[in-house]
Chains A and B, each alone.
Chain A
Amino acid sequence: MADATVNGPHANAAVSPRGAKPTRRLSGRNIMIYGTLAVVCLYYLLPLWVMVMTSLKGMPEVRLGNIFAPPLEMTFQPWVKAWAEACTGLNCDGLSRGFWNSVRITVPSVIVSIFVASVNGYALINWRFKGSEVFFTILIFGSFIPYQVMLYPMVVMLRELGLYGSLTGLVLVHTIFGMPILTLLFRNYFASMPEELFKAARVDGAGFWRIYFHIMLPMSLPIFVVALILQVTGIWNDFLFGVVFISKAENYPMTVQLNNIVNSVQGVKEYNVNMAATMLTGLVPLIIYFISGKLFVRGIAAGAVKG
């Protein structure tokens, strides 16, 4: 009996498994899962494949109609043409014009809207004033109203301000339309931060802006990344506001210009150029996603905890 007690642990050690848990790679279950995933992947990647392949072909090859086949003679000419030579209306300097217009629209819109919304959220949580809840409710209500309802009044307002048709006007529109959802995002994130931290900073003599820049900002990088991604992709991909609020073709953002290139009814349909132009337009949001995907997920999760 005494022996058994002494040997007990060793006996157990011999029986217990060592090393990594063995797995059967090719179980029926796994085949099902990976098979399904592969099919779905193929389904979603096929259009991209077609686009890339077509954009690398010359027009004679495109006319053969083998859309899945890789190019026999690879050429980057369609990309060059899409970027620098394609014509929309009277301008024949390609998408580059639209690209820079979009940059001029997106950068200020993103910066201004995120800054204002984060200060809004911070004030609504930490510096409550009489009626702050009502103010917040009204702001949130704004996100439920369909854009189409506000388009015409907005055009009139911009006209009265003398901003209709200008890039500045469009920046203003994007900033305003981003406000409800961004404020909600920041408010909820700041609400999840410990209140005592804010109190400690006040006892330490920090004011509104000092607390915002020295305490709140450094602690909320994830939510700023979320807001950045939401705004950059949203504003970059916007088509409706670009068409409505820009009156001169030379000021059109990239999306509108892309539409004008692809949908032009004169001349030959240059599918290869269209494909290249489309991919060029989609590149910016794609790059943003790749760079900040990890932070994005973390920020969404953090903001979701408390409402």
Chain B
Amino acid sequence: MTHSIQVKDLTLNFGAMSVLKNMNIDVAEGEFIVLLGPSGCGKSTLLNCLAGLLDITDGEIWIKGKNVTWAEPSDRGIGMVFQSYALYPQMTVRGNLSFGLKNAKMPKAEIDKRVARAAEILQIEPLLDRKPAALSGGQRQRVAIGRALVRDVDVFLFDEPLSNLDAKLRSELRVEIKRLHSRLNNTMVYVTHDQIEALTLADRIAVMRGGIIQQLAAPQEIYNRPSNLFVAGFIGSPSMNFLHGATVDGGAAFQFAGSKISLAGYEGGAILERSKAILGLRPEHLHIQDHAEPGLTIPAEVEIDEPMGADSLVWLEAEGGLQMSVRVPVERRMASGTKVHLKVDISKASIFDTGTEQRV
């Protein structure tokens, strides 16, 4: 496995404020990495550092085996797609696509060839002589992708490229970006705050907060085994249910209010006995049933159910007034006030230490 991008101990300070802290990422060739996080977590900043649009304070950036820490953006072998498309308004689509190539003093024949190829891949051939103002949002974003495409680079950087589009167009273009990736097999680094985009597109997701990567792993790994409380709460909609309690019996059970849940079958490290711990359960890893099973269920009372088309969300109140959500098949309607028992699938659960907030 060869490395396409290597970030070594990258640190960025704006004055006294530390924006990115000692970051290390290795991206394999052809890999699709998504940087995911809430606003202000530094994900776009990191992308700008990779592009060379921001000078970093410390560390190194290597792209394709070359140290490009201080190289100009255009010399790094990257193409970038921006949230606002950033098309040059006074140039036609063709002018937009060829501007970078003209700057590189490429012969005209080669420019025409590349523009034609990019236009063909993105199906924007009929638009080549239009100005950006005469294009729809989706078409504009296609042109913006085309501008990165003509550069024939190894690394694509996407800065929230779909955020300005409406929901339908967003899902269409999402699929198209995925198709583009499988066709070109470039390395792609993609910044987003939308977890659906992250989960569907990424080979690996880097979840960021406060300038620190919280977890860098495959989407399923992130979803099933979040490394800490923040990742667990950030990924998944609705969020994971968090039960605050303690691990007892030498780590064999979880004590939550009046219930004791057996932890047999938990996939993770040694649980040990902790006076304060959090049990994280995703809505789809709970099952509603009407009878109690000691060590496996939690009693709860139905508040409302929300049919969502494909499935239904049931909101319940568990012991101690805790709000919980459970995903059920849509046919199953629950009347408000029904007393039920929630069966826990402990093999899919996560336990966090309350102090360190790390997964056990």
Tell me the A residues contacting B by CB distance below 8 Å: 194, 196-197, 199-206, 210, 214-215, 218-219
Contacts and interface: CB of A to CB of B under 8 A. Distances in A.
A215 B99 CA distance: 10
Contacts of A219: 89-90
B45 to A, nearest CB: 13
A103 B99 CA distance: 39
Interface in B152-196: 159
Given A210-B103, A214-B99, A203 B89 contact: no
A201 B84 contact: no
A200 B103 CA distance: 13
Nearest to B148: A203
A203 B103 contact: no
B74 A197 contact: no
B78 interface: yes
B84 A204 contact: no
Contact of A199 (B80, B87, B100, B104): B80
A200 B90 contact: no
B73 A202 contact: yes
18 contacts: A194-B84, A194-B86, A196-B83, A196-B86, A199-B80, A199-B86, A201-B88, A202-B53, A202-B74, A204-B100, A205-B72, A205-B73, A205-B74, A205-B75, A205-B104, A206-B99, A206-B103, A214-B88
Nearest to A205: B74
B223 interface: no
Interface in B80-108: 80, 82-84, 86-90, 99-100, 103-104
Contacts of B79: 203
Contacts of A204: 74, 99-100, 103, 147, 151
Nearest to B144: A200
B51 interface: yes
Contact of B74 (A194, A203, A214): A203
A196 B156 CA distance: 16
B73 A203 contact: yes
Given A210-B103, A214-B99, A203 B90 contact: no
Given A194-B84, A202-B53, A214-B88, 13 more contacts: A194-B86, A196-B83, A196-B84, A197-B88, A199-B86, A200-B82, A200-B87, A200-B147, A202-B52, A203-B74, A203-B100, A204-B147, A214-B99
B118 to A, nearest CB: 14
Contacts of A205: 72-75, 100, 103-104
Nearest to B100: A204
> Closest 3 CB pairs between A and B?
A205-B74, A204-B100, A196-B86
A200 B80 contact: yes
Interface in B245-280: none
Contacts of A201: 88, 99
Contacts of B159: 196
Interface in B51-80: 51-53, 72-75, 78-80
Interface in B103-148: 103-104, 147
Given A205-B100, A206-B99, A200 B74 contact: no
Interface residues of B, number: 26
B51 A203 contact: yes
Contacts of B87: 200
Given A194-B86, A219-B89, A203 B99 contact: no
A206 B100 CA distance: 7
B82 A196 contact: yes
Given A204-B103, A205-B74, A215 B80 contact: no
A214 B89 CA distance: 11
A221 to B, nearest CB: 10
Nearest to B54: A199
A175 B48 CA distance: 38
Nearest to A194: B84
A81 to B, nearest CB: 50
B333 to A, nearest CB: 36
Contacts of B78: 203
Contacts of A196: 82-84, 86, 159
Most chain A Cβ neighbours within 10 Å, of B83, B100, B147, B159:
B100
A212 to B, nearest CB: 13
A206 B79 CA distance: 14
Most chain A Cβ neighbours within 10 Å, of B75, B87, B90:
B90
B137 to A, nearest CB: 15
Most chain A Cβ neighbours within 10 Å, of B72, B86, B147:
B86
Given A203-B78, A205-B74, A218 B90 contact: yes
Most chain B Cβ neighbours within 10 Å, of A197, A202, A205, A218:
A205
Nearest to B84: A196
A194 B52 CA distance: 18
Contacts of B74: 202-206
Contacts of B51: 199, 203
A294 B53 CA distance: 37
Nearest to A215: B88
Nearest to B90: A218
B190 to A, nearest CB: 16
Given A204-B100, A210-B103, A199 B82 contact: yes
